[in-house]
Amino acid sequence: MTRKFFVGGNWKCNGTRETIAKICEEFNKGPSVGDAPVEVVLGCPFIYADYTREKLRKDWILAVQNCWVGKGGAFTGEVSAEMIKDAGIPWVILGHSERRHLPELKESDETVAVKVAYALANGLKVMACIGELLEEREAGKTQEVNERQLKAIAAKLKEDDWKNVVIAYEPVWAIGTGKVATPEQAQEVHEQVRAWVAANVSPAVAADVRILYGGSVTAKNCKELGEKPDVDGFLVGGASLKPEFLEIVDAYKSK
């Protein structure tokens, strides 16, 4: 089965109504991808979700960047999967390295896994993020870390759940640093991830699941990365706030 190319954007904790209106105006100048073999999903801050949807081109899809671990209630400041679904937002980004590693947050593998399972059970689609720190890569633990994070998620999912999941591999050392995994490094890790899914979930899921690369993706490096057989797209940070994001979306043509 041919996997549809996927380009995710993550605005993180950035944006104002003014800047969102400006960047959406730029994005709207790009050619339609409505019939193209690419899916574009843009993750915005909760507070700007409705405003972004109003301004954003209709052939792109909206995501938010987090959700609560379960049903709503007395959890001040949190947003539940049910609320996101009710707001008509189909996607959520979970397990991003900043959620896992910022000292103010420090989400565990278990917490991320619970969130992923609950979001899927309530009708959302999930960009599930995995990836290693610099010291883990230097210690030769990249595969070990990715498999540990995947194992926690897979333990809580049924095989059918995976049709609504994309895996985003984001080497933490390459996020926002200007460093980027070489296309060969990205392909090596993506191939390992797919092999783990084949062995631990099913070969069918491994063949279908899309594995994205995230880590200083730009218009300059996206085509070469996107040409690799197990790189099914990107999760883009800083560049998703710039007009060059249109060029990154166009990387689907390299397939």
> Which residues are known catalytic residues?
96, 170
Instruction: Give dist(CA 116, CA 154) in Å, integer.
Output: 10
Token pair of 84 as six digits: 């996101």
Instruction: Give dist(CA 196, CA 181) in Å, integer.
Output: 20
Dihedral sign computed on CA atoms, order 213, 218, 223, 224: negative
Q: Helix, strand, coil proportions of the chain in percent (round to 5)?
A: 45, 15, 40
Residues 161/116, Cβ–Cβ less than 8 Å: no
